[in-house]
């Protein structure tokens, strides 16, 4: 596999949190990857029973020997499938746990937070943002991030998952904003004498409820607070991570750690980086289905016309 080791962290209330580590001799940096909602493909017994979830990109990234790796998974929530790395009923116990796990690994490896990059997609990107801000990390890599959880609840079909984390069960309430607007608050309260982590964002313009509603406001807030943002915008794809190839992720991580320029045009044009959609964007899929539905009816119509003429 990847030489991964699996561990369990137990908090003061006895709650268990599974995580995986991959160490590489001579590596002086730590990449922390946070899993997204894992869905049906994460239901295999070895994930659910042994690890309590699915460690997304463990094989993809863990085999890279340039960095040490920590893989985190949120297996709590309304469906045991994630809370955006927050907690339950306003108590951010999962956020606290992943911070403790990460700091423990930094101490074990003797790595400074300035040599850390956090990575995630969708819900995992939410966790990557909050954890990166907590740790004062070098960089954050967020793929199609859900940022403002009230919007994720009402526009991205995640109402139950977000409601679970809210103090009153209402993602739209003022009382829930310390949960739903966690990233916004953390950016606003970030120490003025410290530079925000460098932020790489990849998002599709047709990702409804995410691109215009969450990602672009995040770009504005991050830059207004003095942070550096590299934005990789793709025209179509919806809520996908298909464009986040192994080569792209490793290149971004390396450049963030080395403080090098990132040219997103390379990722969008060069074959080794640009990726391919494994699922058609929703609009294109619906158009194709409609064409298929209309085609036999068009043929039938032409036959009827010929019969009438004859």
189-226 per-position pLDDT tens digit: 999 999 999 999 999 999 999 999 999 999 999 999 99
Contact present, 229 and 201 (Cβ < 8 Å): yes
**Mean of pLDDT values over 25-46:** 76
**88-97, 193-202, 230-239, 274-283: segment of lowest average pLDDT:** 274-283
The Cα–Cα gap between 163 and 154 comes to 10
**In total, how many domains does the chain have?**
2
- Assess whether 88 and 200 both reside in one domain: yes
Question: pTM higher than 0.75, yes or no?
Answer: yes
Q: Across the chain, what does the average pLDDT equal?
A: 89
40: pLDDT confidence band, cut at 50, 70 and 90? very low
What is the domain range of residue 300? 281-310
Tell me 88's DSSP state.
Answer: B
Q: Is the pLDDT of residue 29 over 50?
A: yes
- Assess whether 158 and 293 both reside in one domain: no
**116-125, 196-205, 232-241, 275-284: segment of lowest average pLDDT:** 275-284
Q: Is the pLDDT of residue 300 over 60?
A: no
- Assess whether 112 and 181 both reside in one domain: yes
- Assess whether 268 and 296 both reside in one domain: no
Q: Is the pLDDT of residue 148 over 70?
A: yes
Q: At what angle do helices 93-109 and 123-135 cross, to 10 degrees?
A: 60
Place of tokens 């954890």: 131
pLDDT on residue 294: 66
- Assess whether 155 and 303 both reside in one domain: no
Contact present, 49 and 62 (Cβ < 8 Å): no
74-105 per-position pLDDT tens digit: 999 999 989 999 999 999 999 999 999 999 99
- Assess whether 250 and 304 both reside in one domain: no
Percent of the chain with pLDDT over 90: 78
pLDDT on residue 295: 56
């Amino acid at each position: 596999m990847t030489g991964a080791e699996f561990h369990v962290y137990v908090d003061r209330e006895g709650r268990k949190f599974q995580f995986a580590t991959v160490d590489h001799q001579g590596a002086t940096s730590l990449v922390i990857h946070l899993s997204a909602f894992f869905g049906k493909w994460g239901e295999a017994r070895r994930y659910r029973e042994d690890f309590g979830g699915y460690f997304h990109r463990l094989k993809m990234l863990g085999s890279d020997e340039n960095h040490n790796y920590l893989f985190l998974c949120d297996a709590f929530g309304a469906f045991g499938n994630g809370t955006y790395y927050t907690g339950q009923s306003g108590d951010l116990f999962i956020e606290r746990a992943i911070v403790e796990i990460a700091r423990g690994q930094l101490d074990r490896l003797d790595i400074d937070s300035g040599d850390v990059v956090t990575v995630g997609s969708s819900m995992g990107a939410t966790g990557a943002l909050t954890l990166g801000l907590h740790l004062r990390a070098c960089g954050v890599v967020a793929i199609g991030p859900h940022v403002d959880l009230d919007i994720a609840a009402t526009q991205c079909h995640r109402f139950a998952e977000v409601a679970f984390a809210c103090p009153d069960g209402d993602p739209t309430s003022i009382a829930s904003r310390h949960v739903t607007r966690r990233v916004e608050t953390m950016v606003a309260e970030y120490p003025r004498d410290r530079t925000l982590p460098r932020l790489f964002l990849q998002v599709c313009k047709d990702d409804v409820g995410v691109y215009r509603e969450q990602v672009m406001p995040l770009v504005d807030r991050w830059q207004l607070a003095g942070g550096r943002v590299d934005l990789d915008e793709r025209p179509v794809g919806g809520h996908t991570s298909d464009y986040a190839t192994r080569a792209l992720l490793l290149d971004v991580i390396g450049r963030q750690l080395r403080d090098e320029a990132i040219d997103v045009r390379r990722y969008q044009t060069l074959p080794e980086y640009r990726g391919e959609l494994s699922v058609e964007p929703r609009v294109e899929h619906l158009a194709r289905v409609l064409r298929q539905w209309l085609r036999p009816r068009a043929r039938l119509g032409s036959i009827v016309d010929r019969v009438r003429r004859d």
